[in-house]
A = this chain, B = another copy of it.
Amino acid sequence: MSTALPMSSDETEVAFYDALSRADIEALMALWAEDEEIICIHPGSQRLVGHATIRASYEAIFERGSVHIQPIQLHASRNMITAIHNIIEDVQRTPEMTQDIHILCTNVYIKTALGWRIVLHHASVAPGRGPNELFRASMLH
């Protein structure tokens, strides 16, 4: 991650998935707002609230390795101080997966004196392969 302050929610989102891909816990946690009401919901898991709990969850995830996610098909609602992103997290199909799924994710960012920070990450599993490739291609380009 660059040491520059993220100037948009898009930059913070890129930095978030970059930190996951490098299993960089310090870079990852630095992207969250300095607020004990921050919320993180991993797919199929309970709600986590606050820095200590969320950090511990990512440390446990990183013990199994880094996480490679390509966020696609962004729908966003933005104003001057808040950005609501809803994305599909494109996950590679593995041999253990018995059926097609995709991950839906809501990421909420607020503008702070230290740049755009995450206040909520809510990810959940949806059935099927996700919206069709035509739509997907049109959003990516």
> Are A125 and B37 within 8 A (Cβ)?
no
Cβ-defined partner of A41 (8 Å) among B44, B104, B127, B128: B104
> Are A126 and B81 within 8 A (Cβ)?
no
Size bracket, chain A contacts: 35 or more
List the number of copies, as a whole number.
Answer: 2
Interface presence of A66 (CB below 8 A): no
> Are A122 and B110 within 8 A (Cβ)?
no
Q: Please name all residues of chain B whose beta carbon is closer than 8 Å to the beta carbon of A108 when the two chains form the complex.
A: 77, 84, 106, 108
> Are B106 and A44 within 8 A (Cβ)?
no
Which residues of A does B touch, CB under 8 Å? Answer: 33, 35, 37-39, 41, 43-47, 49, 75-77, 79, 81-82, 84, 86, 88, 104, 106, 108, 110, 119-120, 122, 124-128, 130-131
